[in-house]
Amino acid sequence: MKHMRKRLSQACRLCGWLSAILVAPAQLGAADLNYIETSRPELLNPVDGSRNVIGIRSLELMYRGLISQDEFGEWIPDLALTLPSLDEERGELVFRLREGLKWPDEENITAADVVHSYYIYRDRRSRYGNAHLLAVFDSVYAEDETTIRFHLAQAHPHALARAGYPVMPKHLVGDDTYLPPTNQFNSQPLGAGPYILAYAEDNLLSFETNPWYHKSRPIIETVDLVVSPDENTQHQLLMAGGYVHLDPVVRPQDLPALSASAEHDVRPYSSQTWYGFAYNTKRGILRFREVRQAFSHAYNQAGALDSYFANQGDLVSGPYTKASFCYNREVPHYKFDVVRAIRMLDEASILDRNSDGIREYEGEDVRLVMVLSKSMSQANRDVCADFAQQLSKSLRIDVQLDYVDQRVWQERIFIDRDFDITFMSWKFDEASNIYSLFSKTQTDPGENNVCQFENDEVETQLETFRTTTDDAERTASGQRLHQLLFDESPYTFLWTVEHSSAYLRSHLKRIRIQPFYFFSYIDEWELE
């Protein structure tokens, strides 16, 4: 099998994916399920791989935690034998592992693995994006080989959910709680999920069933992640109906053809994700709230949603999706009003004094750099180009697009803060928590507050939201945050987009997609 996939990879590099299908279809049926992505996950550990949705999808194949969610969003045991008991006297959640759990290399899965994984996520050097969620616990320790005690820093209604992180094998990642990019585990990962990574090249990751998976063995024996950066080719590969069986995220312009196809099934699902332009609030004119508000007024958000996503989504006015209990429906999204945007910049004395077509600030032309990842979708590229053009044309603000590799983008945005504007998305956990996005405690390199935003009232509300155990107070605090962040505009909040997957009817059946994580139920999927 590996020899055949080697030939496949060589053929694809020489001819391109589409021509490879047309020329040599006999080589291309290596896996039970071939799904397609625009880029390859760079690091396959749960710390780094969780930074974008492509990485998250591959992690779902390989890793599991103590608990997971069922189709109704209820928490159920996974590696844990049962849901935990609460030791009220000691303020601890107590988990016990199932009997006979093993890693794919046949080493036992123990409480030490669960504990060590927790401290890897919490290590500040790891720069794990959701480390703040684990702060609900102040310590985790193994009582014995199968018992784990999570000591609560404070009572919290979502404490159970925070214990569901993916578990990694301590004997492979090493004793250090920092997992650097050079760690061998990144290229040879092992998890407790239904699949293991069997083979990897630049344009192909191949997964095979984990022989020690603790649930029923998946019907789908092999899964291949096929990388095709060109989205037009992606669509053609899926429509051809031979090699590619599934596209997790179909472009809106491709939906009519796929919906009309008798050979394909289109399955919409909620991504629980909003998108927006993030501003570095410590740089130049972006320090001023009025400027950020003017930029929001200058962009035709409704027109862009219609043009680039066939209106398959909802405009949002703040950092929550409309499904969230925190979404404040009394806050409208920014009205498209170029005249008002121009007036706001004029009143801020950001003017084109020398009539060269570019406004100045402190005697210098205003030139902003929008740093973007090359791996972003074409629709999102179009949105960014449209935004830059509207600011340049309507407001006389020069905006240059700088496309860089995904890893460079992460360094410049999350580590160096070397940008003026970037395009960001935020995928919610079940608690709708935005603490790490806007708290002044989260501005250090590697943290999620890439805007370096600071506001005292926002900080107060974030802390209330994070610590209160009263549902009504949390809702009120979330909706107040929605209003405050709309006013402050560290982001131009754009929209949520309804995603759709498409797959071959003749190949797959019983497809279920979890609202937060695409492949959560893949061990139940069936071949036709």
In a domain, 184, yes or no: no
Confidence of residue 1 (pLDDT cuts 50, 70, 90): very low
DSSP 388-401: HHHHHHHH--EEEE
Closest CA to 465 of 478, 454, 456: 478
**Top-confidence residue, 102 or 518:** 102
In a domain, 320, yes or no: yes
The pLDDT value given to residue 202: 83
The pLDDT value given to residue 79: 98
The pLDDT value given to residue 19: 38
The pLDDT value given to residue 207: 96
277, two tokens: 């332009």
The boundaries of the domain holding residue 117 are 67-173
What's the burial of 85, exposed, middle or buried (CB within 10 Å: 0-12/13-18/19+)?
A: exposed
105 with 250, same domain: the answer is: no
Give phi and psi for 171, each to the nearest 5: -70, -15
**Top-confidence residue, 430 or 267:** 267
Q: What dihedral do alpha carbons 478, 479, 481, 483 form, nearest 10°? A: 170
pLDDT at 8 exceeding the cut of 60: no
339 with 423, same domain: the answer is: yes
489 with 373, same domain: the answer is: yes
Q: For residue 17, give the CATH number of its domain.
A: 3.40.190.10
Q: For residue 76, give the CATH number of its domain.
A: 3.90.76.10
In a domain, 180, yes or no: no
**pTM for this model (two decimals):** 0.75
How far is the C-alpha of 126 from the C-alpha of 116, rounded, in Å?
13
418 with 330, same domain: the answer is: yes
The pLDDT value given to residue 396: 96
pLDDT at 119 exceeding the cut of 80: yes
Closest CA to 434 of 476, 482, 468: 482
Confidence of residue 429 (pLDDT cuts 50, 70, 90): low
513 with 457, same domain: the answer is: no
Q: What share of the chain in percent tops pLDDT 70?
A: 93
**Top-confidence residue, 438 or 42:** 438
- Average pLDDT (134-160) is 90
- Average pLDDT (436-460) is 93
Closest CA to 39 of 384, 414, 406, 500: 406
The pLDDT value given to residue 393: 95
**Top-confidence residue, 295 or 320:** 295
DSSP 511-526: ----SS-TTTTGGG-E
Report pLDDT digits (tens) over 488-506.
999 999 999 888 899 999 8
In a domain, 508, yes or no: yes
The pLDDT value given to residue 55: 86
Confidence of residue 228 (pLDDT cuts 50, 70, 90): confident
Lowest-confidence segment of 63-72, 87-96, 510-519 by average pLDDT: 510-519
pLDDT at 69 exceeding the cut of 90: no
Q: Which of 106, 140, 173 is the last residue of a domain?
A: 173
In a domain, 250, yes or no: yes
| 180, 379, 431, 483 from 428: Cα distances, Å | 26, 22, 7, 18
The pLDDT value given to residue 516: 67
Secondary structure of residue 451 in the 3-state scheme: coil
133 with 75, same domain: the answer is: yes
Strand (E) or helix (H) holding 265:
strand 264-269
Q: Which residues contact 89 (CB under 8 A, 6 or more apart)?
A: none
Closest CA to 431 of 75, 56, 54, 86: 75
In a domain, 451, yes or no: yes
357 with 225, same domain: the answer is: no
Strand (E) or helix (H) holding 119:
helix 111-122
Report pLDDT digits (tens) over 298-314.
999 999 999 998 888 89
159 with 221, same domain: the answer is: no
**Top-confidence residue, 345 or 179:** 345
The pLDDT value given to residue 432: 63
Q: E-strand spans in 301-377?
A: 313-315, 360-361, 364-365, 367-373
pLDDT at 479 exceeding the cut of 70: yes
DSSP 455-522: -HHHHHHHHHHHH---HHHHHHHHHHHHHHHHHH-SEEEEEEE-EEEEEETTTEES----SS-TTTTG
Confidence of residue 94 (pLDDT cuts 50, 70, 90): very high
**Top-confidence residue, 42 or 89:** 89
Confidence of residue 416 (pLDDT cuts 50, 70, 90): very high
501 half-sphere exposure, CB direction, 13 A CA radius: 25
Residue type, 308: Y
- Average pLDDT (85-108) is 93
Q: What dihedral do alpha carbons 187, 191, 194, 196 form, nearest 10°? A: 20
Among all chains, which residue has been given the structure tokens 């139940």? Answer: 524
Q: What share of the chain in percent tops pLDDT 90?
A: 60
335 with 449, same domain: the answer is: yes
| Strands 85-87 vs 204-209: parallel, antiparallel or unpaired | unpaired
Confidence of residue 515 (pLDDT cuts 50, 70, 90): low
Secondary structure of residue 5 in the 3-state scheme: helix
In a domain, 185, yes or no: no
How far is the C-alpha of 198 from the C-alpha of 4, rounded, in Å?
14
433 with 462, same domain: the answer is: yes
390 with 457, same domain: the answer is: yes
372 with 491, same domain: the answer is: yes
How far is the C-alpha of 179 from the C-alpha of 43, rounded, in Å?
11
Give phi and psi for 320, each to the nearest 5: -135, 150
Q: For residue 317, give the CATH number of its domain.
A: 3.10.105.10
Q: Which residues contact 280 (CB under 8 A, 6 or more apart)?
A: 286, 417, 419, 420, 421, 450, 451, 452
57, two tokens: 């999808």
Number of domains within the chain: 3
In a domain, 506, yes or no: yes
* Mean of per-residue pLDDT scores for the chain: 88
Strand (E) or helix (H) holding 171:
helix 170-173
Confidence of residue 126 (pLDDT cuts 50, 70, 90): confident
How far is the C-alpha of 512 from the C-alpha of 325, rounded, in Å?
25
